[in-house]
Structure 1
Amino acid sequence: MPSNIPFRPFHRPAPDISATRKPDGSLIVRSNIPLGNYEANIGAYWRAAADRFPDRAFLVKCSPDDTWPELSYRTASEQSDRISSYLLSRGYGPDKSIMILSSNSFAHATLMMGAVQVGIPVTQLSPSYSLVGNDFTKLKYAVELTEPGMIFAEDGNTYAAAFESLDLSDKDVVTISGKDHGGIRFDDLLGPVDSVSVEAAFSAVTGESLAKILFTSGSTGMPKAVPNTHEMLCAAQKTLEHVSESLDAVNDPTRVLDWLPWHHTYGGNVNFFGIARVCGTLFMDDGKPTPGLFGRTIENLKRISPSRFSTVPAAYSYLADQMEEDEELGHAFFKNVKICQYGGAALSQEMFERMQQLAIKYIGMRIPFGTGWGATETTGTGTAVHWDSEKVGLIGVPTPGITVKILPVGEKLEIRIKGPNVHAGYYKRPDLTAQYFDEEGYYCIGDAVKWVDPDYPEKGMIFDGRVAEDFKLANGTWVSTGSLRLSLIDALDPLARDVVIAGHDRDEVGILVLLTEAMQKKYADQPGALSADGRRIVAPALIEAVQEKISRYNQGNPSPSRRVGRALILAEPLSVDKNEITDKQYINQGAVLSNRADLVALLFADDGSGGVIKLNKNNAMKGDKDVRNEQADTA
């Protein structure tokens, strides 16, 4: 693709960082851009937006029909003040919090806003805690740890089993519809405003005031509870203000289509509060980047033509497939979009190039792509790519206010982080706090990075996997799963949207292949395409295509730590309930390998297991007859 075709203009500051080497070999890297002053109360953002643009839509609920209800800034602010008044009159405060069980909605938004702005903490839980499984272990743990005074769920019938699993004797239970479980409806919270009490409580909030408690994904053991203070939330928004374009809120307001859940830090902190900061409109997407649900996102994009689009990398594969066939979608998507962003995983270079070719086709320019690195513990921010780059896969450089420490750990470079947006410790878990912070107060997230160019740190860092995810082959060779995974996603484009790396203490690397939605549709329903147990796709044409791409990849990657010797193609979707994939579509490699240990054993079996691609040292596929045998078994 010609690199002389310009990017669509989107002003962002050039990297400006300092890097200092310490005697212990670690490198301290920080932004030279001053963070400056920021708000003390995160509620100041939606109050300012309500003053400037009272009738502008703050939230819009997308739906298959044409109703698309809106919540204006004026209405959102007024309802928040009413809810604040109700809560304050009933003794809610810093030590008596609110818990929200259900997903994104207008009521969810205004209840959170009304509580947080007057210093009442809110815990937003994943609906899966209450809707998946029968023992509600995570829900009970969260309730026991945070001790909420009120629990809210949209529908009392939907959440009935979850409510019945809890001791609610000392709690207010609020619902909108269905069984009431305690007699309080959401409308009961919308009484008169006590302006004196609300303003006094709003002014009493400081940066140290607790605003939220968010839970991590809990990929190992119980989820960890992360306290979000007002300082964390406001500092995160200030750093985002520095690395994003100064927008024209009057003539060119931000329009974002977003599906991310608000119990996650990016959806609930970066996006929700960010929209209020820029006085924009957040369209609540009723689609998701999953097979069967992305069609709604496509229809919504046609109607909205957003000015920003942020999603997980898998969604760009779905989107590109559609735009290559649907010119109406292509024109609508690129009409106003100033920047595309991705997170949760790395975007492949191949997908970046595909999107740029489409941008050139529809608007004659390339589109800037941005991403970053952060976690629940860092309020969703930390590093960012805030400049036009020809390369994806970067996580950028520290944003204003952030300091990172880079230190060698084995063959990796571990990254640790400190800043006003970073938590100071886990909620009521001093043992975990001691485990995850070093002696200098840096949060040890467990991620690894490498430099684009070690001599020029301003060119940015590349995510290099989790320090604990790397493994050794039987010959003692280390396998870097992060970089290998990205290379294989590129190599398998457009067949695969992701891969899971296996091979701990094995003789060679093996992979479990996750197909793109288009490939899944093409092959999964073909007669005889599935294995006898229905868990793998064994269609000969697909196996041949995957084998060809792996062979081509292996020719350029002959070392044992990079070469793929075996592969199989998964037919089953990944499970949120089993922590294989989060609500943000991030794949937990360790959980997949653990939950599918039988498939990993099959992958490395030498008994002629059908449907397993096995490549010899010359990259030819071994065992073609096994594929035929598998087909016979399936038939």
Structure 2
Amino acid sequence: MTVERPWLAQYPAGIPAQIDADEFSSIPAVLEGSIRKFRDRPAFTNMGKTLTYAQIDELSRQFAAYLLGELKLKKGDRVAIMMPNCLQYPIATFGILRAGLTVVNVNPMYTARELKHQLVDSGASVVLVLDNFGCTVEKALEGSAVTQVITTGLGDMLGFPKGAIVNFVLKYVKKMVPDYDIPDAIRFNDALALGQRHELPEVSISHDDIAFLQYTGGTTGVAKGAMLTHRNLVANMQQAAAWVSQLVHEGNEIIITALPLYHIFSLTANGLVFMKIGALNYLITNPRDMPGFVKELSKVKFTSITGVNTLFNGLLNTPGFDKLDFSRLRLTLGGGMAVQRAVAERWKKVTGVTLVEAYGLTETSPAACINPMDLAEYNGSIGLPVPSTDACIKDENGTMLPVGEVGELCIKGPQVMKGYWNRPEDTAQVIDADGWLHTGDMARMDEKGFFYIVDRKKDMILVSGFNVYPNEVEDVIAMMPGVLEVAAVGVPDEKSGEAVKLVIVKKDPALTAEQIKAHARENLTGYKQPRYVEFRDELPKSNVGKILRRELRESPAKAG
């Protein structure tokens, strides 16, 4: 069936219907173009230290040469990175990619159990970790394929004496670096020094080579690695760069990067797209410290910012934010979770700039739909399919539905992943025979080609833009001897969009909500932990015994 494309008529002037996904052979090819063009311009700033494109070139080459020359890694080997936004992140990421290797992004807040699954599943042979999370890596190494751990402190790229002071304060004053013992671990700066001894060989990287194994969950609760190729990411860079081209100016942008670069939204939108246009990425290491974040923003006349609804809401509710200089701000992009109308309207009132909503998935690298950048005000839509992208609404039988009808949103384009790592059955469940990716989101399209998310088909819970899969949470809580039955659902939350609520049938009458939460803290990263715990005599079930999560979601969240 032919796809009608009413959205093309809504494209702002100058936005092409198609992009050239083959203009660049790989992400390093894009990077090298930017290095030539913007060599002396600032590329990344963090904690008062700035690296130019030339310095990123030199340092990432050193890291690539270390991986190939010292560790003798082979093309396609996986290297895991476990750190928040800091200067080491772009150096390592670009180094890994230039070496023809695959980046495995790891959320640094993971517990040892979660990390171990990702290390074992990906087969990563090297892990680069910030000292703050070294003890988690130590606990997760056994049984993995890791042969080398590289450690680094937050201050390591800041120069002397500042770097040494930062590392000392974090460890001994703020007590944020627990002791760990990983034999044969090497420091990041020592790895760079070793890399200087080696020439970086010419590495042939093709479109189909995997650039990132980007882990995402599924309704089964098992985290799966989406295989994102160089072509997927280059295509998405081209699509997004074309989309924002009327608003941004090459070599003249400062983008605030507060969302973690290990998250696909920030990785592509900030780390890659804005690298392509020669921007300065202003890295925020801890955006949860809102007063500190606003203080950082006061130091710079930024032109762009990306974020999730909770981030924008947090800024708007932090004293001093409304006093910042927004004279150069032109682009505010929201994604990762639904943008709330009240937040968007307040953002426009305070900054004078429309908060433009976008939609994407890990599986689409991520951008699939974005609202026009010349949007006058928030419209409640996820926007239009980006260039070279088709979208449609299908029913349960795979039949395309007409305008206005609700069904599953399906996406097709060069940014759609190669598949899930070592999981052909899971891949076949989401990518059909015609190449359509089934998103699991229920949506409708209006007559102009704007798409609107209506509901989620999956039971997934979205906490501050991060996916939480009920089965994983339930499995962890069910490990407790005092629990008979457990169901996890998402309930509305003013701060995080949604929060995790547990409904539990007790086996041990003495079991308390605090015991449940303590167990969750040990086994689940922060955003997966329950905000609410409710005890019931029984759980609602279907006639085949399936727990009816929908009924639990519809009952009010009781504190506990």
| Both proteins in one fold, TM over 0.5 | yes
Correspondence list, 1:109-148, <5 A: 109-129=90-110, 132=111, 136-148=112-124
1:11: which partner in 2? none
Q: State the alpha-carbon separation in 2 of the partners of residues 314 and 277 from structure 1.
A: 28
Correspondence list, 1:460-499, <5 A: 460-469=450-459
Report whether the alignment pairs 1:596 with 2:494. Answer: no
Deviations 1:544-597 (A, max 9, x none): xxxxxxxxxxxxxxxxxxxxxxxxxxx99x989657847xxxxxxxx969x734
Q: CA deviation at 1:151?
A: 1.6
Alpha carbons of structure 1 residues 415 and 91: separation in structure 2 relative to 1, 3 Å: same
Q: State the alpha-carbon separation in 1 of the partners of residues 255 and 308 from structure 2.
A: 15
Q: In structure 1, the residue corresponding to 2:130 is in which secondary structure?
A: coil
Q: CA deviation at 1:420?
A: 1.0
Q: Which amino acid aligns with 2:360?
A: G
Q: Which amino acid aligns with 1:419?
A: G
Report whether the alignment pairs 1:48 with 2:33. Answer: yes
2:157: which partner in 1? none
Correspondence list, 1:433-512, <5 A: 433-451=427-445, 454-457=446-449, 460-469=450-459
Q: State the alpha-carbon separation in 2 of the partners of residues 54 and 333 from structure 1.
A: 28
* Segments ≥4 residues shifted beyond 6 Å: 574-577, 599-602
Correspondence list, 1:325-364, <5 A: 326=320, 329-359=321-351
Q: Which amino acid aligns with 1:368?
A: T
Q: In structure 2, the residue corresponding to 1:303 is in which secondary structure?
A: coil
Q: State the alpha-carbon separation in 2 of the partners of residues 107 and 333 from structure 1.
A: 29
Alpha carbons of structure 1 residues 468 and 430: separation in structure 2 relative to 1, 3 Å: same
1:181: which partner in 2? 183
Report whether the alignment pairs 1:222 with 2:222. Answer: yes
Q: State the alpha-carbon separation in 2 of the partners of residues 576 and 515 from structure 1.
A: 25
State the number of aligned residues. Answer: 450
Corresponding residue to 1:303 among 299, 302, 305: 299
Q: State the alpha-carbon separation in 1 of the partners of residues 307 and 37 from structure 2.
A: 29
Deviations 1:244-271 (A, max 9, x none): 1253334xx1111122122211122221
Q: CA deviation at 1:429?
A: 0.7
Structure 1's unaligned 5+ residue stretches are 1-13, 19-30, 63-67, 360-365, 471-480, 483-509, 518-532, 536-570, 583-590, 603-629
Q: State the alpha-carbon separation in 2 of the partners of residues 189 and 343 from structure 1.
A: 36
Q: CA deviation at 1:115?
A: 1.4
Corresponding residue to 2:380 among 384, 393, 401: 393
Larger Rg: 1
Q: State the alpha-carbon separation in 2 of the partners of residues 159 and 70 from structure 1.
A: 26
Q: In structure 2, the residue corresponding to 1:153 is in which secondary structure?
A: strand
Q: In structure 1, the residue corresponding to 2:419 is in which secondary structure?
A: coil
Q: State the alpha-carbon separation in 2 of the partners of residues 399 and 170 from structure 1.
A: 39
Q: In structure 2, the residue corresponding to 1:159 is in which secondary structure?
A: helix
Deviations 1:97-149 (A, max 9, x none): 211223332223212211112311111111122xx3xxx23222222222122
1:406: which partner in 2? 393
Alpha carbons of structure 1 residues 47 and 345: separation in structure 2 relative to 1, 3 Å: same
Q: In structure 1, the residue corresponding to 2:327 is in which secondary structure?
A: helix
2:59: which partner in 1? 79
Q: CA deviation at 1:170?
A: 6.0
Q: Which amino acid aligns with 2:240?
A: L
Q: State the alpha-carbon separation in 2 of the partners of residues 414 and 76 from structure 1.
A: 42
Alpha carbons of structure 1 residues 465 and 74: separation in structure 2 relative to 1, 3 Å: same
Instruction: Determine if contact 1:369/1:389 at 8 Å carries over to the other structure.
Output: no
2:240: which partner in 1? 240
Deviations 1:327-353 (A, max 9, x none): xx4353422110222112222323333
Instruction: Determine if contact 1:17/1:398 at 8 Å carries over to the other structure.
Output: no
Q: State the alpha-carbon separation in 2 of the partners of residues 259 and 107 from structure 1.
A: 15
Q: State the alpha-carbon separation in 2 of the partners of residues 597 and 381 from structure 1.
A: 37
Alpha carbons of structure 1 residues 577 and 284: separation in structure 2 relative to 1, 3 Å: farther
2:43: which partner in 1? 58
Q: State the alpha-carbon separation in 1 of the partners of residues 522 and 435 from structure 2.
A: 33
Alpha carbons of structure 1 residues 598 and 393: separation in structure 2 relative to 1, 3 Å: farther
Instruction: Determine if contact 2:336/2:360 at 8 Å carries over to the other structure.
Output: no
Report whether the alignment pairs 1:153 with 2:149. Answer: no
Instruction: Determine if contact 2:363/2:416 at 8 Å carries over to the other structure.
Output: yes
Q: State the alpha-carbon separation in 2 of the partners of residues 106 and 592 from structure 1.
A: 33
Q: CA deviation at 1:180?
A: 5.1
Correspondence list, 1:81-100, <5 A: 81-89=61-69, 90-100=71-81
2:209: which partner in 1? 209
Q: CA deviation at 1:15?
A: 4.9
Alpha carbons of structure 1 residues 245 and 97: separation in structure 2 relative to 1, 3 Å: same
Q: State the alpha-carbon separation in 2 of the partners of residues 172 and 227 from structure 1.
A: 23
Instruction: Determine if contact 2:441/2:456 at 8 Å carries over to the other structure.
Output: yes
Report whether the alignment pairs 1:34 with 2:18. Answer: yes
Q: State the alpha-carbon separation in 2 of the partners of residues 17 and 409 from structure 1.
A: 29
Corresponding residue to 1:423 among 402, 413, 417: 417
Backbone CA RMSD of aligned residues: 3.6
Determine what percentage of the aligned residue pairs are the same residue.
Answer: 19
Correspondence list, 1:602-613, <5 A: none
Report whether the alignment pairs 1:381 with 2:363. Answer: no
Alpha carbons of structure 1 residues 172 and 358: separation in structure 2 relative to 1, 3 Å: closer
1:249: which partner in 2? 250
Alpha carbons of structure 1 residues 164 and 369: separation in structure 2 relative to 1, 3 Å: closer
Q: CA deviation at 1:455?
A: 3.1
Q: In structure 2, the residue corresponding to 1:354 is in which secondary structure?
A: helix
Alpha carbons of structure 1 residues 126 and 456: separation in structure 2 relative to 1, 3 Å: same
Q: Which amino acid aligns with 1:147?
A: G
Q: State the alpha-carbon separation in 2 of the partners of residues 176 and 349 from structure 1.
A: 41
Q: State the alpha-carbon separation in 1 of the partners of residues 195 and 224 from structure 2.
A: 37
Structure 2's unaligned 5+ residue stretches are 1-5, 154-179, 398-404, 463-488, 497-511, 540-558
Alpha carbons of structure 1 residues 193 and 416: separation in structure 2 relative to 1, 3 Å: same
Deviations 1:395-421 (A, max 9, x none): 111111111221234983211111111
1:264: which partner in 2? 263
Instruction: Determine if contact 1:150/1:172 at 8 Å carries over to the other structure.
Output: yes
Q: State the alpha-carbon separation in 2 of the partners of residues 579 and 468 from structure 1.
A: 21
Q: Which amino acid aligns with 2:299?
A: R
Instruction: Determine if contact 2:82/2:107 at 8 Å carries over to the other structure.
Output: yes
Q: State the alpha-carbon separation in 2 of the partners of residues 442 and 218 from structure 1.
A: 18
Q: CA deviation at 1:442?
A: 1.0
Instruction: Determine if contact 1:309/1:341 at 8 Å carries over to the other structure.
Output: yes
Q: State the alpha-carbon separation in 2 of the partners of residues 304 and 45 from structure 1.
A: 27
